[in-house]
Amino acid sequence: MTRKLILTRHAKSDWSTPGLRDFDRPLNKRGRKSATVVGAWLAEKGYRPDEVVLSGAKRTVETWHGIEAAFAPAPPVRAEGDLYDASTEAILTVLRRATAPVVMLIGHNPGFGDFANRVVVAPPDHWRFRDYPTCATTVMRFPRDDWADVGWREADVIDFVVPRDLTGD
């Protein structure tokens, strides 16, 4: 058996409110559109998460709400504060606590981009994979039966997309 990870950086956030805590920043209009089109892309490709884990920051929650519109019924979701401003090691620790066969993690850079680059056997042939822009999403497969056993340089990339690939914006 294998495990599948859908790794998504939150969509574009709104910086227009001065003094707002970083954790509380919402998505902007472009971010909401990106989350919706990435959700439709995931559903169309058959990449349905069984479990969703996000940082709890407003922009990760709103990113999930845009994506989840493509899935009915929606899978269980939980917030893990350890994903907020997380290092690659912290992200791996959260992933190792997952239980479902297909897990979606939604979080932040620089950790998510660094994690993606460390966990895959070989990066996809896409010029945006290294910097992992907003709402970048990688679908990858681990050759493991249990999330607790996953490690670095084990995942094979199944697919990778950024919103611009889908919208042309």
Per-residue pLDDT reduced to its tens digit, 69-123: 999 999 999 999 999 999 999 999 999 999 999 999 999 999 999 999 999 999 9
Per domain, the residue ranges of the chain are 3-167
Angle between helices 58-68 and 29-45 (to 10 degrees): 50
**Could you tell me which residues are beta bridge partners of residue 140?**
5, 157
CATH topology of domain 3-167: Rossmann fold (3.40.50)
Spatial separation of the C-alpha atoms in residues 57 and 55, rounded to whole Å: 6
Q: Is the confidence at residue 154, as pLDDT, over 90?
A: yes
Closest CA to 143 of 123, 120, 113: 120
Query: How many residues appear in the chain?
Result: 169
Per-residue pLDDT reduced to its tens digit, 37-80: 999 999 999 999 999 999 999 999 999 999 999 999 999 999 99
pLDDT number for residue 169? 65
| Amino acid at site 86 | A
Asked whether 120 and 150 are in contact (CB, 8 A), the reply is: no
Taking the model in full, what pTM does it have?
0.97
Burial of 129-155, coded b for 16+ CB within 10 Å and e otherwise, reads: beebbbbbbbbbebeeeebeebeeebb
